[in-house]
Homo-oligomer: A and B are copies of this chain.
Amino acid sequence: MQLIRYPDMAGWPALQQRAAAGEARELEERVATIFAEVRERGDEALREYTARFDGVTLSDLRVRPEEMAGAAALVPAALQAAIRQAHANLEKFHQLQRPVEERIETMPGVECWRRAVPVQRVGLYIPGGSAPLFSTLLMLGVPARLAECPDIVLCTPPAPDGSVNPIILFTAQLLGITTIIKAGGAQAIAALSGGTESVPGVDKIFGPGNRYVTAAKQLATRYGVAIDMPAGPSEVLVIADETANPAFVAADLLSQAEHGPDSQVILLTTSDALLVAVTQEVERQLATLPRREVAALALRESRAILLRTPEEMLFFSNQYAPEHLILALEEAEVFSVGVTSAGSVFLGHLTPEAAGDYASGTNHTLPTNGYARNYSGVSLDSFLKKITFQRLTPEGLRNVGPVVETMAEAEGLHAHARAVTLRLESLGN
């Protein structure tokens, strides 16, 4: 980690800089080709790309009921129980987000209301690889189900033997998701964005992925499909005071760093002793970590920064807008009131980021790359649209009609005014 003591405020923006995404042109062109192929040739193209990238030729792109039925037996009982508990916690927290229909008379006879309606067709993308991200499936599947989206399509890449990881299948089963497509990468996103013979097209695509998936999601927006949010590497900012436990802080920093070499890790503290102790702990813990090579790469670009006051730490953090913010502080809750930009916040010494990553109940699909300034994490809202309604009675028309006529005339929109005038005249005023 880079140790920086009392940096000049003018130098803060440089310290808040994320790693640049690098040259994207070539990648974008490859993704555009995949899109064009899949949108034109459907399943045929999808099969070809799956053969090329996942090394398996599939006859059936959909997971069959027999495959689903066999999944649970392959998942250890302790893991099944843990997934069930996480599912229950997520349901509890996301259920609170269910909106109430608001109805009001803004003037007598002018009734307005707003109704939440599920996005009708949603696609959930879950990356494959050595570690199946079943936790992400929970994070997306729970709100999708609570929102009552009628069509939920899950895409995940198959293993070289054509199977889908049983933990993913078990989790899908728990969620009641039955449309599961064996496809990954940009080709899966392309299929979801326009539909193929086997893959239903969707209105909104959720989920993480590598640079190809991210570029593909961006491209999908050109075809009228919405996405959950812009994506970037995962990141954590820890704010710690002298009461923090260096071993806990180091473990939290490492649990971010192990995600990937481009993970972002920042420590802010007012205690020089803690600064030193944490960096020593990081080295110590790193040595015994299975993913230590990945974590070490991420740590090279990571910063431990000594600041003068809690106010400085808060200001720095809000400016940086971290995806995850850990408040390893004596007075974490008081401090948290000042947080204006962060994805999810972890309070106190006993709340590791890992709790929210898996099972506390909050969602782990969060804005990265500074987008916490203007985006929220995934929630029930992400799967709902709000439609407004209004109805005027004769009295309502008499009350609001003249207001509309006056404003429409002032904006030079006479047909707007006339739509009111004709109706007012019909009331025989």
> Measuring CB to CB, which residues of chain A are less than 8 angstroms from any residue of chain B?
78-79, 81-83, 85-86, 88-89, 92-93, 96-97, 102, 104, 106-107, 110, 112, 114, 117-120, 130-135, 167, 203-204, 221, 224-226, 230, 245, 247-248, 251-252, 254-255, 257-259, 285, 289-291, 295, 332-333, 336, 339-363, 369-377, 379, 381, 384-394, 396-397, 400-404, 406-408, 410-420, 422-423, 426
Min CB distance A38 to B, Å, is 20
Inter-chain CA distance A348–B390, complex, in Å, is: 9
A349 neighbours in B (Cβ, 8 Å): 423
Contact A390 B346 (CB under 8 A): yes
Apart from A254-B418, A358-B403, A359-B400: 10 A-B pairs, beta carbons within 8 A: A252-B419, A289-B414, A339-B387, A343-B388, A345-B390, A354-B413, A358-B404, A360-B390, A377-B386, A381-B386
Given A400-B89, A407-B83, residue A131 in contact with residue B389 (CB < 8 A)? no
CA distance A112 to B92 in the complex (A): 10
CB-CB < 8 A to A377: which residues of B? 386, 388
Are A388 and B419 also in contact (CB < 8 A) when A133-B411, A362-B112, A426-B245 are? no
- How far is A325 from B341 in the complex, measured between Cα atoms in Å? 36
Residues of the B chain whose Cβ atoms lie less than 8 Å from the Cβ of A204: 374
A131 to B345, Cβ gap below 8 A? no
* A114, B97: Cβ atoms closer than 8 Å: yes
A160 to chain B, nearest CB (A): 18
Contact A408 B354 (CB under 8 A): yes
Contacts of A362 in B (CB 8 A): 112, 114, 388-390
Contact B135 A412 (CB under 8 A): no
Least CB distance from A154 to B in Å reads 17
Please tell me which one of the listed residues B83, B120, B352, B361 contacts residue A420 in the complex, with CB atoms under 8 A apart: B352
Report yes or no: B414 in contact with A110, Cβ–Cβ below 8 A.
Answer: no
Find the B residue at minimum CB distance from A396.
B350
Cβ contact within 8 Å between B363 and A388: yes
Q: Is the CB of A92 within 8 A of B120?
A: no
Q: In the complex the two chains form, is A415's CB within 8 Å of B291's CB?
A: yes
Distance in angstroms from A271 CB to nearest chain B CB is: 19
A97 touching B106, Cβ below 8 Å: no
What is the bound-complex CA distance between A373 and B204, given in angstroms? 9
A-B contact pairs, 9 of them (CB 8 A): A89-B107, A96-B104, A132-B411, A226-B371, A354-B416, A358-B404, A379-B386, A379-B388, A381-B386
CA distance A290 to B251 in the complex (A): 70
In the bound complex, CA of A363 to CA of B426 (Å): 27
The reply to whether A410 and B255 contact each other, CB–CB distance below 8 Å, is: no
Contacts of A254 in B (CB 8 A): 415, 418-419
- A376 CA to B388 CA, complexed, in Å: 9
A90 to chain B, nearest CB (A): 8
Q: Which chain B residues border A410 with CB–CB below 8 Å?
A: 79, 82, 134, 167
When the two chains form their complex, are residues A390 and B344 in contact, meaning their CB atoms are under 8 A apart? yes
- Whether the pair A104, B110 counts as a contact (CB closer than 8 A) is no
Q: A77 → chain B, closest Cβ, in Å?
A: 11
Nearest residue, chain B, Cβ from A92: B106
Which residues from B are CB-within-8-Å of A379? 114, 386, 388
Let me know if A97 and B104 touch, CB within 8 A: no
Contact of A248 among B104, B132, B340, B422 (CB under 8 A): B422
B390 & A355 in contact (Cβ 8 Å cutoff): yes
Is A419 a contact of B341 with CB atoms below 8 Å?
no
Selected from B79, B259, B347, B387, the residue in CB contact (under 8 A) with A376 is: B387
Contact of A348 among B82, B119, B391 (CB under 8 A): B391
